Structure 1
Amino acid sequence: GLDNAKIISKDGEIYKSSLELSGRGLENGGWSQTIIPSAYYDNGKKLKLKADGVLVNANKKVELKIDDKYPKKIDYFGRKVIIKDVKYSNGHLTIKYTTDSSIAYDGGCELNGNSAISTSYEAGSKISGIEFENVEKKDSYALDLRLVLKYRYPINIEIENK
């Protein structure tokens, strides 16, 4: 996807997307993007597409151990994720973690292939929390945070309004 994407008319009008745009890979190695026309776009033949960078889904399984000492730093594709706390109680496993600003958002966590039942975010502390239910107590678990990473790669291209 594109981070902070906007389309600019030849007259300088800015049409900012409320959703991030995502492209589709082509067989020849290029990419394709369809932008749905609307009454908000002028009828000019040329528009500009600008974005601060790109967003990339990053799936990486990390091993979690209940008995480890926390907080614990984890390398997540060169980014820092800090597991603040891991708690197991009566079939529920709760994990709290923080990330830096190069991580856009969570893409839906999994633990040993099962999706989280709830997520939370503590705004003042920037701590994310995820909870899993019906978890069998084990020494370790495979956690996939499925984070979406931001790469600063400014985009400023002219596109044709067809």
Structure 2
Amino acid sequence: MISRCMGLLACLALVGCSESWGPDARGQEVAGRDLEGDWVLVNYWAEWCGPCRTEIPELNALDASSEDITVLGVNFDELQGEELVAAAEALGIRFRVLSVDPTERLGLSRSAVLPVTVIVGPDGEVRESLVGEQTQEGLLARLDTLRKGG
């Protein structure tokens, strides 16, 4: 009986991980199953945020160079459609930008400051929220610590 309950809980946890993250800025669904096993960094940005502009090339490089790390962007000003696409292009964002803020999905409150990067583990659990400008080197160091259980 206990093993069945544990199995059911494990299945439910996996279903939660595979839930959709919603559409990206171009209307393409961001399927949870495509992110399974990845560390997901959810970065909140805005056009008017200077530190956001500075960290975007770092996040682009991290997303492009790591097989088990995915960066997803969220526009703080809740832009949608062509406005969102244009803002992301103007800032040179090359990682996927979500159209829907995942704070509810992640069980978080909306941040009042920028930039913020939320680290989600391969299990779908939020591990940490980092406030302020991030670098690729700093994020890799933090992920290394988290991978080791720290």
Shorter-chain TM range is under 0.3
Q: From the two aligned structures, give the one with the greater strand fraction.
A: 1
The structure whose Rg is larger is: 1
The normalised TM-score by structure 1 is 0.23
The normalised TM-score by structure 2 is 0.24
Q: From the two aligned structures, give the one with the greater helix fraction.
A: 2
